[in-house]
Amino acid sequence: MQNKVQVHTTINGEEVDFLCEPRQSLLECLRDNLNQTGTKEGCNDGNCGACTVNLDGRIVTSCLVLGVEAEGRQITTIEGIAKGNQLHPLQRAFLEEAALQCGICTPGFIVAAKALLDHEPNPSEDRIRWWLANNLCRCTGYDKIIRAVQKAAAVLQEAKA
């Protein structure tokens, strides 16, 4: 029996119902079924982190999650990081520090880095590098990305003080 499955989930705070084939990854469901194309596909096998989303408070590579597994869960994608027109400090820091060139890795880096800063507002450079080890960038050489995350951490800290 080849029946599509109805999935009820929450994406960026909004309740969503969608139909999918059980073999579709969450990444495919987001991009193809829901037209949320901010989340990128790089390798489609868990190595590059371009498809990183936040699932129930933890970052995962959405190419290695089935869409049907999203049932009843809370998902945050890159589309949920800015508040309306106001960029998140991480997004601003990536722009200001030129932490992207082609940009395909950027949504994954930002979703991943946000999860770090949500729990550890003041991570060391070493910690940031380890945390982002599952995110690959073929353009920037990483230094600018690390600097952008450090800058965003500082801005967020200042905003709290």
Which tokens in the block code for residue 6? 């109805």
Phi, psi of 110 (to 5 degrees): -70, -40
Is 120 among the residues that bind other proteins (CB under 8 A)? no
Is 118 among the residues that bind other proteins (CB under 8 A)? no
Find residue 55's DSSP bridge partners. Answer: 58, 75
Measured distance CA(54)–CA(155) in Å, rounded: 22
| Minimum CB–partner distance for residue 96 and other proteins (Å) | 25
Among positions 111-150, residues that touch ligand FES (CB under 6 A) are 137-140
Is 104 among the residues that bind ligand FES (CB under 6 A)? yes
Is 121 among the residues that bind other proteins (CB under 8 A)? no
Q: How many CB atoms lie within 10 A of CB 148?
A: 28
Q: Which residue has the tokens 């520090």?
A: 97
Type and span of the H or E element at 149: helix 143-160
Among 7, 50, 81, 93, binds ligand FES (CB under 6 A): 50
Which tokens in the block code for residue 156? 């967020």
Is 29 among the residues that bind ligand FES (CB under 6 A)? no
Residue 129 exposure: Cα atoms within 13 Å on the Cβ side: 8
Is 80 among the residues that bind ligand FES (CB under 6 A)? no
Among positions 44-73, residues that touch other proteins (CB under 8 A) are 44-47, 49, 52, 55, 58-61, 63-66, 68-69, 71
- The 3-state DSSP class for residue 65 equals coil
Residues engaged in binding ligand FES (CB under 6 A): 41-44, 46-51, 61, 63, 100-105, 137-140
Residues engaged in binding other proteins (CB under 8 A): 1-3, 5, 21-23, 25, 44-47, 49, 52, 55, 58-61, 63-66, 68-69, 71, 112, 115, 130-131, 133-135
